[in-house]
């Protein structure tokens, strides 16, 4: 324990010194990127960085496309956990025992965490912001990922030509018997927006979200009995492939990954909702410099970034990587201008303000009130 903390202190001071000297020089950002990811593989060979995300196929993809190449380049050993949560981050920061270094949060959770002072300010001296699109750069986190909240179906029960094209069809009990699985939480799921879209509300009139109207719609289409809930991102894949449901909400990358594994599932990007996740560094993280370097790598390394995007079908906030993609891939990404007219952009600010109250309201509705 003691030995470790000595080691980390000395590592920190070395990195701090490096940061200071780089800041003193002009062209600070690019110089430091060069020195942190190329010339000095690592100050100590056993530096680690603990990353948390949502698990399942996504964690495998993160490891293969971003974490392994980062380890190779920097010598920092990342370990990836599957149980990311704002609650876990908050508990660690408040107890002073911070185990996580880089934590994935949904956009409303990010804004809440900033509000509650749970995060380290990012050091854009270490993270080169050159690769970051303007929407992605923030003081306490990087909105590194954009994904689509989609309707997905089991092709064994619903052939593609009979599949729902919009949320009205998706929720129509007359059109599809049986249950639909929807995400029980709302912090990165947009089922309430979907209900409003189904009721015919246009994209630009969805926010401020009329929660009561959305729940009223769901109570009739498909009705409480027509819904079951999932609480993890990988769960709908199991529910769909096991035949428990034929329709589910999910995220585009999860369905793509399942398809690559041979599952007969499909989804449509039309009428989906684009949302984003942040990577943040908890206040008091033990390896925050390593976390910053990983963020720098993710936002700037073109080869690894392009591999991630092609593997996941998600937009990574990494301009050099996006520039490298063939147009066939680029056009299908959540942030593609080609999709812009047919998808809804989630309003993070509205959700940050209303998340807790709406979660409670939704939970109560699920329970039958």
Partner 1 sequence: MTSTVTPAAATASASAGAGAPRRRRRPRGTWLLLLAPVLAFDAVLFLTPLGKLVAASTHDHAYQRVLKDPLVSRSLLNTFEISALSTLATVVLGYLLAVVIWRRGPLARVILFALVLLPFWTGVLVKNFAWAVLLQDNGLVNTALQGLGVTDAPLALLHDRFAVVLGMVHYLLPYAVFPIFAALAAIDDRLELAARSLGAGEASIFRRIILPLTVPGVSAAGLLVFIISTGFFITPVVLGGPGDMMIANQIDFYARQLTDFAGASALALLLTVIVSVLVAIYQRILRAGGEYEAG
**CA 20 – CA 339 distance, rounded (Å):** 43
Q: Does 166 bind partner 1 (CB under 8 A)?
A: no
Q: Kindly report the length of the chain.
A: 369
Q: Report which of 79, 82, 84 is spatially closest to residue 50, judged by C-alpha positions.
A: 79
Can residue 155 be called a binding residue for partner 1 (CB under 8 A)?
no
CB of 318 to partner 1, least distance (A): 30
Asked whether position 264 contacts partner 1 by CB under 8 A, the answer is no
Nearer to partner 1, 265 or 317 (CB): 265
Q: Is 91 in the site for partner 1 (CB under 8 A)?
A: yes
Two tokens, residue 295: 């963020």
Work out how close the CB of 89 gets to partner 1 at its nearest, in angstroms, rounded to a whole number. Answer: 9
Number of residues that bind partner 1 (CB under 8 A): 24
Question: How would you classify the pairing of strands 102-106 and 141-154?
Answer: unpaired
Are the beta carbons of 281 and 153 closer than 8 angstroms?
no
Distance from C-alpha of 109 to C-alpha of 105, rounded to nearest angstrom: 6
> Using the rule CB under 8 A, is 363 a contact of partner 1?
yes
d(CA 280, CA 102): 6
The DSSP result for 174-194, as a single string, is TTS-S-EEEES--SS--HHHH
Cβ 351 to partner 1 shortest distance, Å: 14
Report the Cα 146 to chain-centroid distance in Å: 7
96 vs 202, beta carbon nearer partner 1: 96
Kindly state the tokens that stand for 83: 């149980």
Binding-residue pattern over the window 10 to 49 for partner 1, x denoting contact by CB under 8 A: ----------------------------------------
From the list 48, 185, 310, 336, which residue makes contact with partner 1 (rule: CB under 8 A)?
Answer: 185
Give, as one character, the DSSP assignment of residue 65. Answer: I
Q: Which of 82, 213, 228, 330 binds partner 1 (CB under 8 A)?
A: 228
Q: d(Cα 230, Cα 239) in Å, to the nearest integer?
A: 9
Instruction: Based on the shown chain and the rule CB under 8 A, indicate whether residue 366 belongs to the binding site for partner 1.
Output: yes
Segment lying near partner 1 (by CB under 8 A), choices 90-98, 129-137, 294-302, 311-319: 90-98
Which 100-139 positions form the footprint of partner 1 (CB under 8 A)? 112
Q: How far is CA 310 from the centre of its chain?
A: 16
Query: Nearest distance from residue 142's CB to partner 1, in Å?
Result: 21
* Choice between 200 and 243, CB closer to partner 1: 243
Smallest gap from Cβ 363 to partner 1, in A, equals 6
First-to-final CA distance of the chain = 51
**Which residues, other chains included, contact 364 with Cβ-Cβ below 8 Å and sequence gap of 6+?**
none
Q: Which of 159, 223, 243, 284 binds partner 1 (CB under 8 A)?
A: 243
Cα 348 from Cα 353, distance rounded (Å): 9
Q: Cα–Cα distance between 216 and 127 in angstroms, integer?
A: 46
Residue 223 binds partner 1 (CB under 8 A)? no
Q: Given the rule CB under 8 A, which of 86-94, 144-152, 159-167, 334-342 is the region that contacts partner 1?
A: 86-94
Pick the binder of partner 1 from 18, 103, 152, 184 (CB under 8 A): 184
Residues that bind partner 1 (CB under 8 A): 85-87, 90-91, 94, 112, 184-185, 187, 228-229, 242-244, 356, 359-360, 363-364, 366-369
């Amino acid at each position: 324990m003691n030995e470790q903390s000595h080691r980390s202190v000395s590592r920190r001071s070395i990195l701090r010194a490096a940061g200071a000297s780089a800041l003193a020089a002009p062209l600070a950002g690019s110089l430091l990127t060069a020195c942190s990811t190329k010339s000095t593989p690592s100050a100590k060979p056993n530096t680690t960085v603990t990353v948390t995300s949502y698990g399942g196929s996504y964690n495998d993809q993160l490891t293969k496309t971003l974490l392994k190449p980062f380890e190779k380049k920097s010598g920092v050993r990342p370990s990836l956990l599957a149980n990311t949560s704002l609650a876990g981050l908050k508990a660690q920061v408040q107890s002073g025992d911070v185990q996580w270094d880089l934590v994935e949060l949904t956009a409303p959770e990010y804004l809440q965490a900033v509000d509650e002072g749970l995060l380290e300010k990012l050091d854009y001296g270490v993270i080169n912001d050159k690769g970051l699109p303007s929407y992605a750069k923030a003081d306490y986190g990087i909105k590194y990922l954009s994904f689509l909240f989609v309707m997905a179906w089991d092709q064994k029960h619903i052939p593609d030509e009979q599949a729902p094209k919009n949320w009205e069809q998706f929720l129509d009990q007359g059109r599809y018997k049986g249950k639909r699985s929807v995400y029980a939480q709302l912090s990165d799921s947009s089922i309430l927006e979907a209900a409003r879209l189904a009721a015919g509300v246009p994209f630009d009139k969805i926010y401020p979200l009329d929660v009561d109207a959305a729940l009223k719609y769901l109570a009739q289409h498909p009705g409480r009995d027509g819904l079951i809930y999932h609480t993890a991102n990988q769960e709908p894949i199991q529910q769909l492939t096991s035949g428990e449901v034929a329709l589910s909400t999910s995220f585009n990358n999860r369905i793509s990954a399942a398809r690559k594994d041979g599952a007969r599932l499909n989804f449509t990007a039309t009428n989906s909702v684009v949302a984003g996740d942040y990577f943040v560094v908890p206040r008091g993280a033990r390896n925050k410099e390593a976390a910053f370097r990983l963020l720098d790598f993710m936002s700037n390394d073109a080869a690894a970034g392009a591999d991630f995007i092609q593997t996941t079908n998600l937009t990574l906030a990494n301009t050099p990587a996006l520039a490298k993609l063939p147009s066939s891939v680029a056009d299908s990404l959540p942030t593609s201008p080609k999709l812009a007219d047919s998808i809804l952009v989630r309003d993070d600010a509205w959700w940050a303000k209303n998340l807790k109250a709406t979660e409670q309201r939704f939970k109560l509705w699920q329970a039958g009130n």
